[in-house]
């Protein structure tokens, strides 16, 4: 069980979780979400800026393009699952997340983790040449040709562009990611009331940060981005369903267990 690391909250084991104090104190809440984002974001922004010159060569692009559909899907599923694992780590350190039942934690991650990966993608995206950091180098849409889901890839790249246009700071990305995850609208939640409590605290954290940065107008734009995220993720699920029907063996035995558990 890949999600076994997400225990239900046990205050005896975790005296520093400080519920409900950390949910009431906005400064502290923001600080721990920002810290958690920093510690799980794999690369710092400056590091990514320094890597921008690393582009895939013609030959490397061709090598990706000549992979078979199922080989490329498997490859991308592994990369995505790796990214999702960091998001799970991030989630575990959002104050209040551990207070939720294991069922609700998984329900939130099922829909939210992919959305957060896409929010995080904007940090790994170069708008100047529309490339994303993929497997050590920057790659354009053409690299993903063999997946045979050009509409999804184009939509994902467009989304990254739109996110980059907002020019969010790291704390803003951190709080927005937390808000994307902690969402009472997700299906199959047992205790919506508790999720709402956590959601409210994260919301006030984001409001606090935007007010501090004098960028309150961003809230409206971020809300718009959330609905785009939803449609992107249902498109991803749809593509995965189609793929699994056509390549049941790859989807069943070669996809990472966590990928299957969260998305299939």
* Least distance to ligand CLR, CB of residue 157, Å: 8
Residue that is written with structure tokens 């010159």 in the block: 53
Instruction: Report the C-alpha gap between 263 and 59 in whole angstroms.
Output: 32
* Least distance to ligand CLR, CB of residue 149, Å: 6
Which C-beta is closer to ligand CLR: that of 82 or that of 203?
Answer: 82
Which C-beta is closer to ligand CLR: that of 51 or that of 106?
Answer: 51
Ordered strands of the 137-139 beta sheet: 125-126, 131-134, 137-139
Which C-beta is closer to ligand CLR: that of 117 or that of 218?
Answer: 117
Which C-beta is closer to ligand CLR: that of 133 or that of 176?
Answer: 133
* Least distance to ligand CLR, CB of residue 27, Å: 27
Instruction: Report the C-alpha gap between 132 and 101 in whole angstroms.
Output: 35
Which C-beta is closer to ligand CLR: that of 70 or that of 104?
Answer: 70
Helices (H) and strands (E) in the chain, counts: 12, 3
Instruction: Report the C-alpha gap between 144 and 108 in whole angstroms.
Output: 28
Which C-beta is closer to ligand CLR: that of 155 or that of 219?
Answer: 155
Residues that bind ligand CLR (CB under 6 A): 42, 73, 76-77, 79-80, 83, 86, 117, 120-121, 124, 132-134, 144, 147, 149, 152-153, 156, 236, 239
* Least distance to ligand CLR, CB of residue 139, Å: 7
Residue that is written with structure tokens 């708008």 in the block: 127
* Least distance to ligand CLR, CB of residue 70, Å: 11
* Least distance to ligand CLR, CB of residue 87, Å: 8
Instruction: Report the C-alpha gap between 124 and 183 in whole angstroms.
Output: 25
- Give the contacts of 36 (CB within 8 A, at least 6 positions apart): 89, 90, 93, 94, 174
User: Do the Cβ atoms of 263 and 236 come closer than 8 Å?
Assistant: yes
Which C-beta is closer to ligand CLR: that of 51 or that of 83?
Answer: 83
* Least distance to ligand CLR, CB of residue 75, Å: 8
- The tokens for 204 are 């006030």
Per DSSP, the residues of 191-222 read -HHHHHHHHHHHHHHHHHHHHHTT-TTHHHHH
């Amino acid at each position: 069980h890949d999600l076994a690391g997400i225990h239900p909250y046990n205050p005896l084991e975790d005296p520093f979780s400080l519920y409900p104090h950390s949910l009431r104190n906005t400064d502290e809440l923001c600080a721990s979400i920002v810290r958690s984002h920093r510690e799980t974001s794999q690369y710092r922004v400056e590091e990514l800026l320094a890597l921008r010159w690393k582009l895939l060569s013609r030959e490397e692009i061709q090598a990706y393009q000549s992979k078979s559909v199922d080989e490329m899907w498997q490859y991308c599923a592994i990369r995505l699952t790796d990214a999702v694992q960091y998001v799970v780590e991030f989630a575990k350190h959002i104050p209040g997340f551990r207070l939720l039942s294991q069922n609700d934690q998984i329900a939130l991650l099922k829909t939210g983790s992919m959305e957060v990966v896409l929010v995080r993608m904007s940090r790994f995206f170069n708008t100047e040449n529309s490339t994303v950091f993929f497997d050590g180098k920057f790659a354009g849409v053409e690299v993903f040709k063999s997946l045979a889901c050009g509409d999804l890839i184009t939509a994902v790249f467009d989304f990254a562009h739109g996110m980059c246009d907002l020019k969010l700071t790291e704390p803003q990305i951190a709080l927005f990611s937390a808000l994307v995850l902690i969402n009472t609208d997700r299906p199959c939640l047992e205790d919506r009331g508790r999720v709402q409590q956590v959601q409210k605290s994260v919301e006030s954290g984001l409001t606090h940060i935007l007010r501090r940065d004098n960028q309150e107008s961003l809230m409206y734009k971020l809300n718009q981005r959330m609905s785009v995220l939803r449609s992107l993720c249902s498109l991803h699920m749809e593509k995965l369903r189609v793929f699994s029907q056509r390549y049941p063996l790859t989807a069943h035995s070669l996809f990472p267990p966590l990928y299957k558990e969260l998305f299939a």
